[in-house]
Amino acid sequence: MNTILCRLTGSRGSLWRCRAAVRAQAPGQTSQLISRTGARLVAGGGRPLSGCGRAQSRSQHTQTADPVEVDLKRLAGQDEGIVEVLMCRHKARNALGHVFVSQMRELVSTLSNDPAVRVVIFRSLVPGVFCAGADLKERALMNDSQSDLFVHGLRSLMTQIASLPTPTIAAMDGAALGGGLELALACDLRTAAYSAQMGLIETTRGLLPGAGGSQRLPRVVGVALAKELIFTGSRLGGREALEIGLINRAVEQNQSGDAAYGEALSLAREILPQAPIAVRMAKEAMNRGTEVDLASAMAIERMCYARVIPTRDRQEGMAAFIEKRPPHFTGE
């Protein structure tokens, strides 16, 4: 297993390190860590990625010298089209602080306008944690109006993630608590290790889920069960979460601590060969249709269906079926 080590030296001489385990790939495959300037750091043939300077990694943040807390990796080769959002705020267990949220919003905005993206995986590079939720140290310094404004921004970010046109998968290899679970709930699909702990625990802190959790959890597991989980501030393991339908797949954790990521990658690879426009339209039809009455939902389905009829991918799908061969979709 290769290791990525990015060292970013700040204006005050501080050293920030981001270490990411790169899973073994099929022959001929490479992975690409994409910097904010578009530069690609390619790992292949057993060679580790070289270090990257702050100017290469986040050109928009050079003036404030913010460390990289969220980054992107675009997979290549047979996995081209899969993009990973890497959460790597090691010192604060990926807590949702100002810098973290700002960088996440920037990356999600970039992905929403990228037609080359087919599946997005949200994963953590911090061992034992997906996202620890709110940064309570930062929150303690805010007055009431500042806190309300910041939570409103969090709610907006989760909506932005939920609105991505392509399928999204949260890979929970560790704790996903409070805002961390709300981030996972904003994704279409979720995988988790059996050992992962997850829950909307805000009531144990005198709060309620404020970044979409009070609305998305009932839509996923049902109103009565969501109320029980939120009222009690309960924490669930991967097995329990799978049983109630909170997650799609659960696996035993491995020695490298990335079993849920491996399952998410496997799921992404199942989605990848399908027609991209059809997948996007299916997501739109379901997301919009579940928010309205059935008659209106049928109209939404018809509208989305009409958008795939003139595509080349639909013609390719029909031709491949007739010719008894696998289809090759191009997203056109």
187-202 residue pLDDT tens:
999 999 999 999 999 9
Active site residue 38: no
Backbone angles phi, psi at 92, to 5 degrees: -120, 20
Catalytic residue among 182, 193, 250, 278: 182
Q: What is the pLDDT of residue 107?
A: 96
- Would residue 268 show up in a list of annotated catalytic residues for this protein? no
Strand order in the sheet with 129-131: 129-131, 175-177, 198-199
pLDDT interval class at 15 (50, 70, 90):
very low
26-56, pLDDT tens digit by residue? 434 445 554 443 434 333 333 233 333 333 3
CA distance 101 to 142: 16
State what percent of residues in the chain have pLDDT above 90.
Answer: 74
In the chain, where do the E strands start and end? 2-9, 15-22, 31-34, 40-43, 70-75, 82-87, 119-124, 129-131, 168-172, 175-177, 189-193, 198-199, 249-251
Predicted confidence band at 268 (pLDDT cuts at 50, 70, 90)? very high
Query: Exposure string (b/e) for 82-110, b if CB count within 10 Å is 16 or more?
Result: bbbbbbbbbebbbbbbebbbbbbbebbee
pLDDT at residue 46 in the model: 32
What per-residue confidence (pLDDT) applies to 137?
87
What is the pLDDT at residue 97?
A: 92
Q: Per-residue pLDDT tens for 212-221? A: 999 999 999 9
pLDDT digits (tens, 9 = 90+) for 72-128: 999 999 999 999 999 999 999 999 999 999 999 999 999 999 999 999 999 999 999
pLDDT one-digit tens code per residue, 241-267: 999 999 999 999 999 999 999 999 999
pLDDT above 60: residue 205: yes
More confident residue, 37 or 312: 312
What's the pLDDT tens digit per position in 116-143?
999 999 999 999 999 998 888 888 899 9
Residue 331 binned pLDDT confidence (cut-offs 50, 70, 90): confident
Options 43, 95, 134, 268, the catalytic residue: 134
Q: What is the spatial distance between Cα 241 and Cα 126, in angstroms, rounded to a whole number?
A: 22
Q: Active site includes 134?
A: yes
Q: How far, in Å, CA of 36 to CA of 80, rounded?
A: 19
Model pTM score: 0.82
Whether the pLDDT of residue 168 is over 90: the answer is yes
String of b and e for 130-168 (b: at least 16 CB within 10 Å)? bbbbbbeebbeeeeeeebeebbeebbebbebbeebbbbb
Per-residue confidence (pLDDT) for residue 31, from 0 to 100: 54
Q: Which of 179, 180, 238, 317 is catalytic?
A: 179
Q: Which whole number is the average pLDDT over 218-229?
A: 97
13 is catalytic: no
DSSP structural state of residue 96 = B
Catalytic residue chosen out of the listed positions 202, 212, 213, 268: 202
Query: Sorting pLDDT into bands at 50, 70 and 90, what band is 57?
Result: very low
